[in-house]
Amino acid sequence: MKSHLISGSLSAVALLAAFPCHAAKKSTARPNILLIMADDMGYSDIGCYGGEIPTPNIDRLANRGLRFTQFYNCGRSCPTRASLLTGLYSHQAGVGAMSEDPELKEGEDPEHQGQHGYMGFLNRNCVTMAEVLRDAGYHTYMTGKWHVGMHGKEKWPLQRGFEHFYGILAGATSYLQPRGGRGLTLDNMNLPAPRPPYYTTDAFTDHAIGFLDEQTDDKPFFLYLAYNAPHWPLQAKDADIEKMAGRYAKGWQETREARRQRMVEMGLVNDEWGLAEWDSRTWDQLSEEQQDKSALRMSVYAAQVYCMDYNIGRVIDYLESKGKLDNTLIIFLSDNGACAEPYSETGFGTIADINNQQHWVQPSYGKPWAMVSNTPYRKYKRRAYEGGIAAPLIMSWPEQTHEFASQFRHNICHVTDLMATFIDVANATYPKTYHGGNDIIPLEGTSLIPAIGNPEKKLHEYIFGEHADNCYVRWNDWKAVRDEVTDKWELYFIPDDRTERHDLAAEKPEQLKHLVGKWEEWANTHHVFPKGTGGRDTRLTDTNN
């Protein structure tokens, strides 16, 4: 690993504000910040959210911290990452659709319309967490998946505030041998394909710990550890696959119902919600060979999650060994719901493609397992139903969360809130201008810190979203959704029906009209133009279309 010797003076001590008066305050030093992102992982895949996959280290974070149950993202990888990094809605930051494609040259991607909201990379009217925190005296490191701009080094992590970066610029890569346009980058240098044995999850963790270990001063750090796991392709280490082997022979329905029951017992979901619609065959309709192959795909997926978990444990253990764990704010989340691509029962590729190092193939686990991963919610990645936009969020900061350890927080919150949270604890300043005088769009998020000691704290009145014609607005207990397939606004009362089984649009037309009107106001002020319209979609003014 390349050496990075970092020197600097001790940052000024800042008192933390906005904490409940009864929260613990063992240290007045600003905390280190560790942000861990999983890729395409479902709401219920990890143990502390009801899953059967062994995740003792993520569960450890939950046991020492808080689990948020109503945390929302942007429904897909690159919009969520743009929103996460900037504290803005993804269209404001320039990534309302997809990021730049590694298979195409700059300007060739047909999804990039040249409009502010759909440029495919972070624009210069936003600032990143790394830029804000570095200006506040933090060291800033990143390993893993970038996916918010790759054509031109001005879009790369080091040009957006990070001191060091190791990982991939693209949205997906081989776990075993990243190469070509999906290859590895160290700082501003493209690397050759690694020699086996190699595994991205391990390597991203190695470099994350390496960056921390090479720090020579006492300044706080911000580390963004963005795993590509468990995004396709299905590739896992043999030993991990063996540990997961046989766990999924019981099939989709039994696994899903067992997860739901655990979630009910935990208090994560209401029993009355039941399970969202199932839009595939049932397990007993498969042949024995089909069942074996499908179960194997899920075992490999589970192995990818399991590997990510024990690597997270390595980082936790490192921080603990250095006496830094108690004053490190750790956030763990997933970027969107589980991935059903290519929306078939078997997924991408064949069983023979699993762990193929010879060429770029993308075996995946299929739509039914994605619905299991998102238990009990509806649909999956890309869609604006709960299965697409609801994600686990864990906050662990032992010095501040120990009094409330292992509790749930049902406060409605959004991925934009993480920038505001980090500004809060770092005593940082969100700028009005940056990048040589460019006007910076005002911050959209709000700090999650008050929710540590106040479960009733209202963080948002409205939350909005649009991606690939999937639109939603959440207003307190109500949610309106316009799906890409039905092209019609639907209405749900979330406390009674978070699995979105009972559309109340016909019964509550005035309520729906209010929500759609608010969505349109947001769309017209946030650079939101559904794909292919070239401007405002006039159909949105009629809630019956």
| pLDDT tens readout for residues 381-440 | 999 999 999 999 999 999 999 999 999 999 999 999 999 999 999 999 999 999 999 999
Please give the radius of gyration of the chain, using alpha carbons only, rounded to the nearest integer.
22
Q: Which helix (H) or strand (E) holds 294?
A: helix 288-321
pLDDT of 539 reads 32
530, pLDDT greater than 80: no
pLDDT tens digits for 347-390?
999 999 999 988 888 999 999 999 999 999 999 999 999 999 99
What pLDDT, in 10s, does the model give residues 196-220? 999 999 999 999 999 999 999 999 9
pLDDT grade for 92, boundaries at 50, 70 and 90 = very high
Collapse the DSSP code of 323 into the 3-class scheme (helix H, G, I; strand E, B; otherwise coil) and give the result. coil
Structure tokens at 291: 């069942």
Tens-digit pLDDT profile for residues 247-273: 999 999 999 999 999 999 999 999 999
The per-residue pLDDT for 235 is 98
The answer to whether 55 touches 41, Cβ cutoff 8 Å, is no
- Is the previous residue joined to 230 through a cis bond, with omega within 30 degrees of 0? yes
DSSP state of 280: S
Cα(43)–Cα(481) distance, rounded to whole angstroms?
19
The pTM of the whole model exceeds 0.85: yes
